[in-house]
Amino acid sequence: MKYKYLLTPGKIGSLEIKNRAIMAPMSAALANPDGTVTDELIAYLTARARGGIGLILTEYAYVQESGKSSDHQISAASDDKIEGLSRMVSAVHAAGAKIGLQLQHGGRRSIVDVQSASPVPMDKTQPTPRVLTTEEVYVLIKDFIWAAVRAKKAGFDLVEVHCSHGYLLNDFVSPHTNRRTDEFGGGVKGRAMAPVMIIKGIKEACGADFPVSVRVSGDDMVTDGNLKRDAAELCMLLEEAGADLLDISGGMLGVGYGIAPAAKETGYNVEAAIEIGKVTDCAVSVAGRINEPEYAEEILRAGHAQFVSIGRALFADPDFVNKAADGREEEILPCVGCLQRCYGSYGHGGVFRSCMVNPFAMRETTLPVTPAKTKKKIVVVGAGPAGLECAWIAAKRGHEVVLFDKNSEIGGQLRAAAMPPHKQLLARALVYYYNMCRKYGVDIRLSTEVGEKEILGEKPDAVVLATGGAPIVPRIPGIESIELTFGSEVLLGKKPKGDRVLVIGGGSQGAETADYLGGLGYEAAVIEMRDGIALDDHEATRKLLLARFAENGVQSYIGSTVKHVYPDGVDYEKDGEMHSIRSFDDVILSIGVRSNNPLQEKLEGKVAELHAIGDASVARNAVNALYTAACLGSEI
């Protein structure tokens, strides 16, 4: 496809951008604890700049110490931060992109001083925020303006005022959180007064030609918040104040505070952007699961926005824009919407965030892919996610790689994981890994089960065992006497014995198996010993899964320990009492996997290097499998 709109230059105020692709502001958690810029942060941003993005909007930078929202957040709150910010700007400019600094105060999401426009907590688990006095609001406005002055001194091309995602300015503009009776309350004009004064103040202090973007919730996604029509009214006032770009996102509380799992529709903020574009004349950008260049082009061609803000798709693949421009769409590693490493849990290697499908994200300095000093012949056994990832990276570095798998298809357990509702992007990730293996010359031999003899016959310098895991069969009375059906078998096409099915195990795979069956019309139930279903999933993912459970009538038995298994059900203990559920047509076991590594002992001492990765080493999850594979592929 010719991306004649996506790759066409655009203007934000007086600033010309080389294309219509903006890197959305996302926390990488790479700053120092004092808010100063690190080499890791600069390397992460410059990788995206080299990847072809036109404009980078940094993650949020706090304008007051009281507004700090995370331990590794950028600071724009004092002059001593200018030097580091200037280094960041210079590096991004040298890599070919423009850059803007996003300015923010955490408000109710502050880790220092929980504060808001009114005493409305985030939810019942959060403290009631301290209400800002009128005088404090005026100080806040001045601190936003001073932060913008620092940004200009550091060389930023623009600033963005964060007025979304449940942060402090969002609390002021939203009727959900603003119940004030001073000049910063009342109707939309009063609620908008703080950001309006900030925009005007920045223009006065930095010059009328210094562009200002405002990140706005097109829909607060709470019942008494701003809806699309209200956001349009707000944006008219922001444009009148001097905003050059309206960067449309969404959500105060619900969908991951502005990020969305795979079950949320793509482009879920586009309708709001259209509404806002109808009543404003300045440039509009829209964010929200815009993960394919074809879809970005569609939005722009249709005139729904003048720019697209691409977020976690750039965690997954920093070269998104360049690959689209070169016609290499099948080499774009897709964001799968899992939220496993980019949000909440920082994952491997310390405090930094990353990406499940791309473990190199935010590891640009600590996990580089460089040519191998000594070229080796490497045999990889297992073409699941770990084996594929390790194989293509090693081959890219110059090694000769042979990849074996006993199955006729690649993918291992990730093939099954791609089958439940809204998980299909995992299959696209597998296609990417396979394409990379072919690109870098990996010799892929499917339908080939190898043992010690076959492996040694290849005369390898190194062997990587990525043989994955096998389903766990617990020692529960009765289980040995029934014909077991495993969740992975069902997800790959094995039909249950009848219409009523019970899934033992309410972790991720068990919950997704029940979700899959419920969506097909089965009368499904799931039993779990922990006090919740899919507890290892991100809360936004879990929330939508449970909504589908309710829609499809999937029953959940939680805090319930199975004590006996029958062909048609189980006995279980809950709160010290015994219960029984029976009359099922099939009982499906889905409680996880154990390590499957039959070749380790047979090869020990017979090859120069022997490695095990993923579940073959320690049975955990895809996050661990891909991370250990990336590390080994980069080092071997």
pLDDT in the model for residue 259: 74
CB atoms within 10 A of CB 304: 17
User: Can you tell me the distance from the alpha carbon of 432 to that of 355, in angstroms, rounded to the nearest whole number?
Assistant: 15
- Please tell me the pTM assigned to this model: 0.94
pLDDT in the model for residue 342: 86
Q: Model confidence at 258, in pLDDT bands (50, 70, 90)?
A: low
pLDDT in the model for residue 351: 55
Q: Tell me the pLDDT tens digit for each residue of 289-302.
A: 999 999 999 999 99
Phi–psi pair at 494, nearest 5 degrees: -70, 125
Tokens of 634: 């980069």
Mean of the pLDDT values across residues 186-206? 98
Greater confidence (70 vs 444) lies with 444
Is residue 346 over pLDDT 60?
Answer: no
Is residue 631 over pLDDT 60?
Answer: yes
C-alpha 157 chain-centroid distance: 27
Residue that is written with structure tokens 């996997």 in the block: 593
Cα-Cα-Cα-Cα dihedral sign, residues 5, 8, 11, 12: positive
User: Can you tell me the distance from the alpha carbon of 219 to that of 270, in angstroms, rounded to the nearest whole number?
Assistant: 11
| Nearest Cα to Cα of residue 328 among 293, 368, 290, 364 | 293
Q: Model confidence at 71, in pLDDT bands (50, 70, 90)?
A: confident
For Cα atoms 594, 598, 601, give the angle at the middle one, nearest 5 degrees: 120
CA torsion 502→503→504→506, rounded to 10°?
Answer: -130
Known active-site residue 566: no
Is residue 96 over pLDDT 60?
Answer: yes
β-sheet bridge partners, residue 103: 61, 161
For residue 57, CA distances in Å to 45, 96, 321, 396 come to 10, 14, 16, 31
Q: Tell me the pLDDT tens digit for each residue of 386-407.
A: 999 999 999 999 999 999 999 9
Mean of the pLDDT values across residues 73-89? 98
629 in helix, strand or coil?
helix
Residue of 3, 5, 167, 433 marked active site: 167
Is residue 203 over pLDDT 90?
Answer: yes
**Can you list the domains of the chain with their CATH numbers?**
10-331 (3.20.20.70), 377-471+595-635 (3.40.50.720), 479-591 (3.50.50.60)
User: Can you tell me the distance from the alpha carbon of 545 to that of 524, in angstroms, rounded to the nearest whole number?
Assistant: 14
Structural Rg of the chain based on CA atoms: 26
User: Can you tell me the distance from the alpha carbon of 349 to that of 487, in angstroms, rounded to the nearest whole number?
Assistant: 32
Residue 299 CB partners (closer than 8 Å, separation 6+): 267, 270, 286, 290, 305, 308
pLDDT in the model for residue 597: 96
User: Can you tell me the distance from the alpha carbon of 438 to that of 417, in angstroms, rounded to the nearest whole number?
Assistant: 23
| Nearest Cα to Cα of residue 511 among 539, 495, 486, 534 | 534
C-alpha 206 chain-centroid distance: 34
| Nearest Cα to Cα of residue 311 among 274, 294, 286 | 286
| Nearest Cα to Cα of residue 556 among 536, 534, 573, 538 | 534
308 in helix, strand or coil?
strand
pLDDT in the model for residue 118: 98
Q: Model confidence at 256, in pLDDT bands (50, 70, 90)?
A: very low
Largest Cα span, the chain: 81
- Asked if 261 and 538 touch (Cβ cutoff 8 Å), the reply is yes
433 in helix, strand or coil?
helix
| Nearest Cα to Cα of residue 234 among 181, 161, 300 | 161
Is residue 429 over pLDDT 50?
Answer: yes
Q: Tell me the pLDDT tens digit for each residue of 458-513.
A: 999 999 999 999 999 999 999 999 998 999 999 999 999 999 999 999 999 999 99
User: Can you tell me the distance from the alpha carbon of 136 to that of 149, in angstroms, rounded to the nearest whole number?
Assistant: 20
Q: Tell me the pLDDT tens digit for each residue of 569-594.
A: 999 999 999 999 999 999 999 999 99
Q: Model confidence at 538, in pLDDT bands (50, 70, 90)?
A: confident
Q: Tell me the pLDDT tens digit for each residue of 27-62.
A: 998 999 999 999 999 999 999 999 999 999 999 999
Is residue 103 over pLDDT 90?
Answer: yes
231 burial (CB, 10 Å; 0-12 / 13-18 / 19+) is buried
pLDDT in the model for residue 492: 96
Residue 130 CB partners (closer than 8 Å, separation 6+): 113, 114, 115, 116
CB-facing half-sphere around the CA of 512: CA atoms within 13 A:
27
273 in helix, strand or coil?
helix
CB atoms within 10 A of CB 230: 20
HEC profile for 449-474?
A: CCCHHHHHHCCCCEEEECCCEEECCC
Q: Model confidence at 568, in pLDDT bands (50, 70, 90)?
A: very high
Mean per-residue pLDDT over the chain, rounded: 95
β-sheet bridge partners, residue 443: 402
Mean of the pLDDT values across residues 258-287? 93
Strands (E), 221-303: 245-249, 283-286
Q: Model confidence at 223, in pLDDT bands (50, 70, 90)?
A: confident
- Asked if 250 and 221 touch (Cβ cutoff 8 Å), the reply is yes
